[in-house]
């Protein structure tokens, strides 16, 4: 199985499959056909079969998918079968919210430290996670094994900080700053942008479209 | 100009154009060619021309685009040229972070109230915005003109709350709950999902892919 051949669109859908299979599993469902799964997820059954065939299938004719097994396989494909150490840059509301979100997948992502520039937070702990000063970041990264950094700071500081992260071995950046990092981050560092204000603008556009149709 | 003919992909890119044009405008740039804009945004110049042609062009041969004018036109297309009243359901870290994000576009989105079920927050204000109890939501929506609701509550409550929102006239939901709302929300209500944990899983997948290539 080569990861390189999987299209971005499939990768976008995998976490959604993972979420639905989790809900089915919680509800005690042991197996499901692609038809049933498709009705719940509002995608076509053939789309589901095609997507999962990218990874070798997992389904059996006339039996459907084993929910627990399929979920575990998708977890493995997504790299959720091991723990990723993570730091969060910015201990404001968004940083705190992300620390909670990461807990969703408790065994896959472990927030080991928050960093902030506000001296009032120095030495504090939030929900059991220590907050350190941003100046300590390079040393912390060199001394600890950290793969992922979430960036929840204003755009003025984001690019400088991204450079420091990359120079000190961070391999993945979860970027919430209102800017793109493509100019400063090399190709061998994964970047996932979450531009919340762009999402709000799309909502505004769709709202306008719906109103125009009335 | 019919909104219906514009593809989802173009709509996804418009807020990004808007952001870049804002940065150019702040930097004092008055006009820009599609070639220069394409170098900054890392998309092709022909993509930019094609995208903007959907809305009637705006560019002049040999002159390029007037930055301020193009930005205002895109704002108008996105519905940012007027104020949308918004409520935020859930006054936790994420709700507070969104209240700040919405301020980014101060004249387009106005958060008029936060709602929460925690009685300790009753009657409080956060950054000048009142917090009300969730039981007061239906009456508040009937008495005030609110178009957008942001949903930052656990999935167990999200679907019930979405129903209340729709029954009381909300036209757009910015959904951060870890569930899809497509089963309960009619087609004439706009929904924009931000599933943060799915975004983190995509990052984890891309990280794994990069590691496999080493």
Q: Give me the numbers of helices (H) and strands (E) for chain B, helices first please.
A: 8, 9
Compute the count of residue pairs across chains A and B with CB atoms less than 8 Å apart: 189
Least CA distance to A39: which residue of chain B?
B183
pLDDT band at B117 (very low <50, low <70, confident <90, very high): very high
Across the interface, do B93 and A104 touch by the CB < 8 Å criterion?
no
State how far residue A63 is from chain B, nearest Cα, in angstroms. 27
Tens digit of each residue's pLDDT (9 = 90 or more) over A1-19: 444 457 778 888 899 999 9
ipTM field? 0.92
pLDDT at A73 over 70: yes
Under 8 Å between Cβ of B174 and B151? yes
Compare CB distances from A93 to B15, B93, B211 and report the shortest one's residue. Answer: B93
Which chain B residues have a beta carbon less than 8 Å from that of A202? 11-12, 15, 78, 192
CA dihedral B40, B41, B43, B45 (to 10 degrees): -50
Mean pLDDT of the residues in chain A: 88
State how far residue A138 is from chain B, nearest Cα, in angstroms. 21
Under 8 Å between Cβ of B136 and B122? no
CA–CA separation, A159 and B169 (whole Å): 42
Tens digit of each residue's pLDDT (9 = 90 or more) over A156-191: 899 999 999 999 999 999 999 988 887 789 999 999
Interface-testing mutation among B206, B210, B213, with chain A (most A C-beta atoms within 10 A): B206
Q: Per-residue b/e over A120-134, b at no fewer than 16 CB within 10 Å?
A: ebeeeebeebebbeb
Compare CB distances from A197 to B96, B104, B147 and report the shortest one's residue. Answer: B104
Interface-testing mutation among A107, A147, A204, with chain B (most B C-beta atoms within 10 A): A204
pLDDT for res B147: 96
Compare CB distances from B203 to A172, A207, A213 and report the shortest one's residue. Answer: A172
pLDDT band at A47 (very low <50, low <70, confident <90, very high): confident
For chain B, percent of residues with pLDDT exceeding 70: 92
pTM for this entry: 0.91
Which residues, including other chains, have CB under 8 Å from residue B125's CB and lie 6 or more apart?
Answer: B131
A15-24, A51-60, A80-89, B99-108 — which one is most confidently predicted on average? A80-89
pLDDT at A49 over 90: no
Under 8 Å between Cβ of A81 and A75? yes
Q: Which residue did the predictor score with more confidence, A53 or A148?
A: A148
pLDDT at B45 over 90: no
Determine the average pLDDT of the residues in A104-128.
88
pLDDT band at A106 (very low <50, low <70, confident <90, very high): low
CA–CA separation, B163 and A101 (whole Å): 24
Compare CB distances from B100 to A84, A93, A188 and report the shortest one's residue. Answer: A93
Compare CB distances from A198 to B19, B92, B206 and report the shortest one's residue. Answer: B19
Across the interface, do B101 and A171 touch by the CB < 8 Å criterion?
no
Residues 181-210 (B) with a CB less than 8 A from some CB of A: 182, 188-192, 194-210
Compare CB distances from A109 to B147, B148, B200 and report the shortest one's residue. Answer: B200
- Kindly give the pairing relationship between strand B31-32 and strand B109-116: unpaired
Across the interface, do A196 and B98 touch by the CB < 8 Å criterion?
yes
State how far residue A35 is from chain B, nearest Cα, in angstroms. 17
Check CB contact of B17 with chain A, cutoff 8 Å: no
Strand runs labelled E in chain A: 31-32, 65-66, 84-89, 109-116, 125-126, 129-133, 148-151, 172-175, 190-193
Check CB contact of B15 with chain A, cutoff 8 Å: yes
């Amino acid at each position: 199985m080569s990861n390189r051949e999987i299209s971005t669109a499939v990768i976008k859908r995998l976490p959604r499959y993972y979420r639905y299979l989790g809900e089915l599993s919680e509800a005690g469902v042991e197996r499901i056909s692609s038809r049933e799964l498709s009705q719940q997820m509002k995608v076509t059954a053939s789309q589901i079969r095609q997507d999962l065939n990218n990874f070798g299938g997992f389904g059996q004719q006339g039996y459907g998918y084993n929910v627990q097994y399929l979920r575990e396989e998708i977890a493995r494909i997504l790299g959720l079968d091991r723990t990723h150490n993570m730091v969060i840059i910015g201990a404001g509301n968004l940083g705190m919210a992300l620390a909670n979100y990461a807990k969703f997948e408790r065994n896959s992502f472990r927030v080991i430290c928050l960093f902030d520039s506000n001296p009032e937070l120095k030495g504090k702990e939030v929900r059991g996670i220590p907050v350190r000063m941003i100046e300590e970041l390079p040393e912390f990264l060199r001394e600890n094994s950290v793969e992922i950094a979430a960036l929840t700071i204003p755009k003025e500081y984001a690019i400088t900080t991204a450079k420091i992260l990359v120079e000190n071995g961070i391999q993945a950046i979860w970027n919430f700053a209102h800017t793109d990092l493509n100019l400063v981050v090399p190709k061998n560092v994964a970047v996932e942008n979450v531009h919340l204000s762009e999402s709000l603008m799309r909502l505004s556009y769709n709202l306008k479209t719906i109103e125009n149709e009335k």
